[in-house]
Structure 1
């Protein structure tokens, strides 16, 4: 005889939590909240709980008594399941749906049209200096006079009478006058700089002589020891198996090292 098997089936649960319990706290009026903090649409009536700052459904939105569903104060599956003190709190819907929707739309339009009050100033473009201003530090009195005369020959304003000058002509005339006035001082300063440079160079040479004298003896001993070591290494390479050409090269090298050693030993 076969035993019948019963498959477990899921029990149909209610879509919303319904309980007759009502919190003893004072009712929460929707007029005390901002339009974006609650939703009066019948399909998703909800608001932000002032205690836990999370969106909580409102039960009985189309009935007489409205209240928040029981909910936890933390994040689901992350924080401890602690019941929020705002659970089952009565909600006083004292704002009509049409008024709430109009306020929400007006707030969205104002936010979309809002523009930043920060002023971004464009950087000022620096005025490019004139050619005469660029060449001024490089010219002397004679060069400034030649440049001024060349301008007068080609300028239609400065050429006929010579009394009136254009902008460039006035700058060149001012440059020439400035160079004539400052030429003696410039030449004197240039002479002083040249003399100081010459004195500095002579001082360096005078300083090098005692420095070289203090190290000349040690350098001479090192050179003599180096030539002496090379001469000993060369003598060790002497062998009767050398060919006449190799023997000639050997003698030439020995002669040069001996001559160098004699020069250093004087």
Structure 2
């Protein structure tokens, strides 16, 4: 009795079957041909094969069956992103047939080549335009060129020679500008004098520091340089004396009176230089 029951349990146990498209519903729209779509509108990766639904413009997975009778088609989907409350189903785009007439291996190679080319492409350098500085006022431009005394003299000379301007009442356009310039330079004169004084003091301190640095550097090399100068003058003086007192070789032309006098004068000058170098140190 136990054997038939055991055999029946083995026969009635559910077995794993291949997944295939069970829905017979097909969209009335014509099939979607993948080769007619833009490369950016489909993905043939077997792990995530999908395309953009032409009806609702959303990415939709493609259901591909393993049987020969079944045809690839879009899965039922909604028109809103995932997580939207009360979404509307895409009635025309759902269950729409898809014709995959693109070689997956060729498409994968082209995708890898495009990624490599994009990765190796150097990014364009962004050259930012410098921000334009605000244009200074006329008084700021002219005020830096003349001092308060010059501006006052220009204003007084204009008022004296102008037929329209008077010291108290009316002013022409040039007179008003010169009056503003005189007032501006008189108001900023103390600040300008203080700034000029600070700049002069800073220049004096910098010059004094440079002189001090030069003296310190010269003190380190003064003795070797002086000894080198002395040795050079002694070598020149020795060579000149040898030329003056050298015996006349057979066949050589002796020094003339003028040449000997000139050589003696040169020796005297070099001896004076050697004496100066000795007393200077």
State the TM-score bracket (shorter-chain normalisation): 0.3 to 0.5
Normalised TM-score (structure 1): 0.46
